Amino acid sequence: MKTRWFGKLGFEISSFGLGCMRLPQDQDGKADEAASIAMIRGAIDGGVSYIDTGYGYMGGQSERILGKALRDGYREKVHIATKLPPWLCNTPDDMERILTEQLKRLDIPTIDFYLVHSVYDENWPKMMDFGVLDFMQKQRKAGKIRYIGFSTHADTAYFKQVLDAFGWDMCQVQYNYMDTAYQAGVEGIRYAGSKGVPIVVMEGLRGGHLANVPPSVEAIFDAHPVKRSPAEWAFRWLATFPEIAVVLSGTSTEEQMRDNLRIFSADDFGAMSPEEFDVIEKARVAYMSRMKAGCTGCEYCLPCPQNVMIPKIFSLWNQAAMYGLLGQEDWHYREYADEGRGAAACVSCGRCQSMCPQSLRIPALLQQAHCDLLA
């Protein structure tokens, strides 16, 4: 297993981090405890030294199952990360109550990495008002946690703002070869690296979409003389960033876990030739060609008199088209629609169309997006 230096913290850690959000399930869709424990222990035996979970993962079962897997000497071989969910904190006292519950579920006295979960929008100001940073430092002094971090899906500017607000030990962000300018993006990755803050990457396969690629992308990978799976291409690209300490992968089967061990243990893992970078770029272009609307997100079309979330709707529509999700209802868009900010609220006044630098036929495109996203 290839290891990385964990930034300023001064120790090495496995480049493959096991995510416990998608543990094996039984025929009824419930967490398969025996299979999950076997998979977790198999990963640790294979060299994985970073395991990630969260309070609500697998309906709350993830932490409990991980706690059982850590018995019999396995706890001493790994670093455990879990998260404090801001949406379940209604008072400052809830933070300690939740941490106490997590320690009990995990059946350990100390959590290695304790992250403020999903830092963004109203979550972060609320948690700051609750004194979350003082709480974290108090728990560290008490020996209940070792390192303080945060996870976020925020944009680059917000990510930098949070990163500068505290002397974080680490951070967790979404990143993959399709998201170089999305959320924290490459700019955020470089910025954290410049501060010595180690990065743990989630969504390296974008929820599995970069592992199950459309035919046009598959043909690009197949044309390369060295045959690799789409997942391996995505992971190898991430490994070229020295700022990234750990890449999380939430495996659901023993087979997936074993394949990840193989990928992250390759002698040349972390190195790519110019020709290989070109393959990734061609794959990215192939994905982009599947977009439905040529919206750049400039927001010149806003504010809409009817409060329609025009750029965000187009972003959701484009993502659904790129990753083969058209015809499946998008829950993000359902929220907009239920709030009266979806495309159905458009009255075709034409203001947005006259302001669009791309000359998009916005009202007509919104109606197509509405049909595809609520199918």
For residue 52, give the CATH number of its domain. 3.20.20.100
In a domain, 296, yes or no: no
Both 262 and 325 in one domain: the answer is: no
Positions annotated as catalytic residues are: 57
User: What range defines the domain where residue 169 resides?
Assistant: 3-282
pLDDT band at 225 (very low <50, low <70, confident <90, very high): very high
Q: Looking at the chain, how many residues does it have?
A: 375
What pLDDT score does 160 carry?
Answer: 96
- The DSSP call for residue 304 is P
Give residue-wise pLDDT tens across range 101-125.
Answer: 999 999 999 999 999 999 988 889 9
What pLDDT score does 3 carry?
Answer: 95
Exposed/middle/buried for 271, CB within 10 Å: 0-12, 13-18, 19+?
A: exposed
Both 27 and 72 in one domain: the answer is: yes
Both 109 and 159 in one domain: the answer is: yes
What pLDDT score does 95 carry?
Answer: 98
In a domain, 289, yes or no: no
Which of 270, 83, 67, 55 lies closest to 171 in space, CA to CA?
83
Choosing from 282, 301, 330, the residue where a domain stops is: 282
For residue 280, is pLDDT > 90? yes
In a domain, 295, yes or no: no
For residue 191, is pLDDT > 80? yes
For residues 192 and 163, give the distance between their C-alpha atoms in angstroms, rounded to a whole number.
7
Both 200 and 276 in one domain: the answer is: yes
Both 259 and 134 in one domain: the answer is: yes
- Rounded percentage of the chain residues whose pLDDT exceeds 90: 86
Cα torsion 289, 291, 293, 299: sign: negative
Both 29 and 89 in one domain: the answer is: yes
Query: At residue 31, what are phi and psi to the nearest 5 degrees?
Result: -60, 130
For residues 192 and 5, give the distance between their C-alpha atoms in angstroms, rounded to a whole number.
15
Q: pTM of the full predicted structure?
A: 0.89
Query: At residue 213, what are phi and psi to the nearest 5 degrees?
Result: -90, 155
What pLDDT score does 35 carry?
Answer: 96
Both 263 and 363 in one domain: the answer is: no
Question: How many separate domains does the chain show?
Answer: 2
- Rounded percentage of the chain residues whose pLDDT exceeds 70: 100
Angstrom CA distances, 31 to 62, 65, 216, 256, 357, stand at: 8, 9, 35, 17, 49
In a domain, 305, yes or no: no
In a domain, 288, yes or no: no
Both 275 and 331 in one domain: the answer is: no
Both 200 and 85 in one domain: the answer is: yes
Query: At residue 13, what are phi and psi to the nearest 5 degrees?
Result: -150, 155
What is the token pair recorded at 313?
Answer: 């709707």
What pLDDT score does 51 carry?
Answer: 98
In a domain, 303, yes or no: no
Both 106 and 248 in one domain: the answer is: yes
In a domain, 301, yes or no: no
Angstrom CA distances, 165 to 153, 158, 159, 161, 208, stand at: 17, 11, 10, 6, 32
Both 162 and 209 in one domain: the answer is: yes
For residues 228 and 224, give the distance between their C-alpha atoms in angstroms, rounded to a whole number.
9
Both 266 and 332 in one domain: the answer is: no
**Which secondary-structure segment (H or E) carries 147?**
strand 145-152
pLDDT band at 83 (very low <50, low <70, confident <90, very high): very high
For residue 319, is pLDDT > 90? no
In a domain, 304, yes or no: no
For residue 204, is pLDDT > 80? yes
For residue 181, is pLDDT > 90? no
Helix, strand, coil percentages in the chain from 3-state DSSP, rounded to 5: 45, 15, 40
Mean pLDDT in the chain?
94
For residue 94, is pLDDT > 80? yes
What pLDDT score does 207 carry?
Answer: 85
What pLDDT score does 7 carry?
Answer: 87
For residues 182 and 185, give the distance between their C-alpha atoms in angstroms, rounded to a whole number.
5
